[in-house]
Chain A
Amino acid sequence: MKKLLLVFDGRYYPETLLRFVLRIREGSAVSVRAVLLNSTDMTALWSFPVAPGTGAPYVPPIPDVTDEAQEAEANADRITQWLMDNNLSGTCIRQSEGPVFETIKKESRFADIMLLCGDHFFAHFGHQPNDYLKQTLHISECAMILVPDNAPFPERTVMAYDGSAASVYAIRQLAYLLPEMCNLPATFLHAGEGGDVPYAELIVDLAERWYPNAHWEHLLSSKRDQLSEHLAGLEDGLVVCGAFERGVISQFFRDSTVSRVIKSQNVPLFIAHH
């Protein structure tokens, strides 16, 4: 049984994530832990010396705390009811106090996959990927799926491969965690100078073991700008990539590309790093 973790700003009802949970359950048994986070976490000030997304000193908006508490309470009740209606084992907790990032780090340590809403994750802190989302992707200790609003459930996968340990780790993690997706058409997308795929024999062997419907595409790194457009255009796809702002950032699939895919808000991303 997979333990799925849903984390979101308590003021938001994660319709898209719940839809994804039901589709994942069709492939394998799941238990759900929904964590409604404190949307006015002042301790995050320490993480961002300036206002997220701007160069200005940080002045946090102070939403009406009473409203937030009521909204979060109502959302927690709805999710608990949704779990029961769908006969899902799981819990829904409100983290109305305390640091957001500490909570995410702790919760993700004890989860198999974390689902995040790509559009609404602390949306009041700026356009996506805002600093809250980037920090969350960075500190998370389990694999993540970033789901944009209204994204259809993936009918195919795209593996961003550059030969790095991070990209191979993510490809393996998808196979372990969502084996039902292994049978979907899988595009192994390599980007780099020249035509040589690093460790070609080994990655082909790995692909054959896990992804029977794999095929290869090669993109010249001189056309780097086209990559994010290419990935963002895959509306029924799931883009699998290995690192997000880690020390070992893949040579080509680096932050800017991932960020652009997130910004495009129409393709789910599976991110796994260690």
Chain B
Amino acid sequence: MIKMIWLAEPQRFQPHQLSFPAMMAKEAKSHLTVVDTSAWRSNPVPVYINDPVFPTTNYTIPDIIPPGKEHDAESFRKSLETTAQEAGIEVEFVDGSQAYVDNLADLSRFADLIMVNTSLALSPGDDHNPTDFVMSLLPKMQCPVLLLPDDQQEIKELIFTYNGGYSSMYSIRQFAQLFPGFRNLPVTILYVEENEHSIPYERELKNWLAAHYDNYSFKLLRGEPSSALMTELMWRKNVLVTFGAFGRSKLSRFFKGSNAEGVLQVIDIPVFITHP
């Protein structure tokens, strides 16, 4: 049975947030391991400004957790259990200690999928989308990561980004291995034409797709890969997209050195990322 981990943020938990992880767990016939990330949060740090005109002042970056929303593990669990029961899945709780986050890379080695909301932040100033914490996770993980937007979407289509390379195909194959039940969904292969004007290994790819998906099509984009993908994906909803490699460093190999973060910042759909 697949081990599926969801990194949950109890202070901002809303029952609807569970619907997508629950749907994926059901699809994979798995139960869901929910990790409480409360202990990972750092306290607000005062910031000092030395201004030549105004006297030295200090202020604290406001926390994104609303005041009064202190962590209450017990009520979080109860709320999650109720929601999980309604969704028809089993959940297992893990208290995420600081040691857990320190060892997350090793732990991911033994997991099949890690799901994380793009808004999961561990420090008050981390308000990017995806947050710096989420971006820092990606290169370290040793299993696929599914980035979840905050609004929950039913998946009606799959988009596989493809560049002919090993890493894009690796990601597509990993997705198919974990979620064979999606074979009936329409699949679009997105290929960005840069120098080559035909899809690399098109015949071989079609041959593989035919064995795994009933309905697939190709879409060719033109231009610089990350810009073309941004334009294509930024308005999309109800789709899940796979990306081949985030790379071991912050720069993506898939985008051949351009900034993958840019694409992740503008799209608002579930993103499946893995790297060989």
Contacts of B276 in A (CB 8 A): 274
Contacts of A176 in B (CB 8 A): 177-178
Cβ contact within 8 Å between A177 and B177: yes
Question: A16 interface residue, CB < 8 Å from B?
Answer: no
In chain B, what residue has the closest Cβ to A168? B109
- Partner of A110 from the list B106, B107, B110, B208 (CB cut-off 8 Å) is B208
Number of A-B contacts (CB under 8 A): 58
Interchain CA distance A165-B105 in the complex, whole Å: 10
Whether A109 and B207, one on each chain, are in contact in the complex, defined by CB atoms closer than 8 angstroms, is no
Other-chain residue from B1, B177, B178, B208 in contact with A111 (beta carbon distance below 8 A):
B208
B248 to chain A, nearest CB (A): 12
Does residue B173 face the partner (Cβ distance < 8 Å to A)?
yes
Kindly identify, within residues 101 to 120 of chain A, every residue whose CB is under 8 Å from any CB belonging to chain B: 106-107, 109-112
Decide: B1 and A110 in contact? CB cutoff 8 A: no
- Among B2, B173, B204, residue most surrounded by chain A Cβ atoms (within 10 Å): B173
Interface size on A, residues (CB 8 A): 27
| A13 at interface, CB cutoff 8 A | no
The answer to the question of A33 belonging to the interface, with a C-beta cut-off of 8 Å to chain B, is yes
From B168, which residue of chain A is reached at the shortest CB distance?
A109
Minimum distance in angstroms from B3 CB to a CB of chain A: 6
Query: Looking at the complex, which of A45-53, A187-195, A199-207, A213-221 is the stretch in contact with chain B?
Result: A199-207
Cα distance, A91 to B276, chains bound together (Å): 28
For B183, the closest partner residue in chain A by CB is A1
Say if the beta carbon of A210 comes within 8 Å of chain B: yes
Asked whether any CB of chain A lies closer than 8 Å to the CB of B45, the reply is: no
Against A, the Cβ 8 Å flags (1 = close, 0 = not) of B198-219 are 0001001101101110000000
C-alpha gap A177/B207 in the complex (Å): 18
Q: Which residues of A contact B107 (CB under 8 A)?
A: 202
Please encode chain B, from 223 to 258, with 1 for each CB lying within 8 Å of some chain A CB and 0 for all others: 000000000000000000000000000000000000
User: In the bound complex, do residue A107 and residue B110 qualify as a contact, i.e. CB atoms below 8 Å apart?
Assistant: no
**With the chains together, A205 CA to B112 CA distance in Å?**
12
How many angstroms between the C-alpha atoms of A112 and B178 in the bound complex? 13
CB distance from B33 to the nearest CB of A (A): 10
Q: Does A209 contact B (CB under 8 A)?
A: yes
Please give, as numbers and ranges, the residues of chain A lying within 8 Å of B169 by CB-CB distance. Answer: 109-110, 141
Residue of B nearest to A207 (CB): B110
**A contact residues around B142 at 8 Å (CB):** 165
Q: Which residue of B lies closest to A111 (CB)?
A: B208
Given A141-B166, A210-B1, residue A3 in contact with residue B208 (CB < 8 A) = yes
A89 CB, min distance to chain B CBs, angstroms: 8
Q: A112-B173, A176-B178, A202-B110 are in contact. Are A2 and B204 (CB under 8 A)?
A: no
Is the CB–CB distance between A209 and B166 below 8 Å?
A: no
Could you mark each residue 39-74 of chain B with 1 if its beta carbon is under 8 Å from any beta carbon of chain A, else 0? 000000000000000000000000000000000000
B63-91 residues with Cβ-Cβ distance < 8 A to A are none
| CB nearest neighbor in B for A107 | B204
In the complex, the 9 A-B pairs of residues with the closest C-beta atoms, listed nearest first: A274-B276, A202-B110, A176-B177, A110-B204, A110-B208, A1-B211, A3-B211, A209-B1, A31-B211
Minimum distance in angstroms from B177 CB to a CB of chain A: 4
The answer to whether B212 and A1 have CB atoms under 8 Å apart is yes
- Chain B CB within 10 Å — which of A1, A33, A109, A202 has the most? A109
Known: A142-B173, A172-B112. 13 other contacts (CB 8 A): A2-B211, A3-B207, A3-B211, A109-B169, A109-B204, A112-B211, A141-B170, A168-B110, A177-B177, A205-B110, A206-B3, A209-B1, A209-B3
16 sampled A-B residue pairs with Cβ under 8 A: A2-B211, A3-B211, A31-B210, A106-B201, A109-B166, A109-B201, A112-B173, A112-B211, A141-B169, A176-B177, A176-B178, A177-B177, A199-B106, A199-B110, A205-B110, A206-B3
| Complexed CA–CA distance, A55 and B274 (Å) | 41
Shortest Cβ distance from residue B78 to the other chain A in the assembled complex, whole angstroms? 25
1/0 per residue, CB under 8 A from A, across B258-276: the answer is 0000000000000000001
Contact A33 B110 (CB under 8 A): no
> What is the CA–CA distance of A202 and B201 in the complex, to the nearest angstrom?
39
**Which residues of chain B are near A3, meaning CB under 8 Å?**
207-208, 211-212
A1 vs B106: C-alpha distance in the bound complex, in angstroms?
31
Kindly list chain A residues whose C-beta atoms are within 8 Å of the C-beta of B211: 1-3, 31, 112
Residues 96 to 127 of chain B near chain A (Cβ within 8 Å): 106-107, 109-110, 112
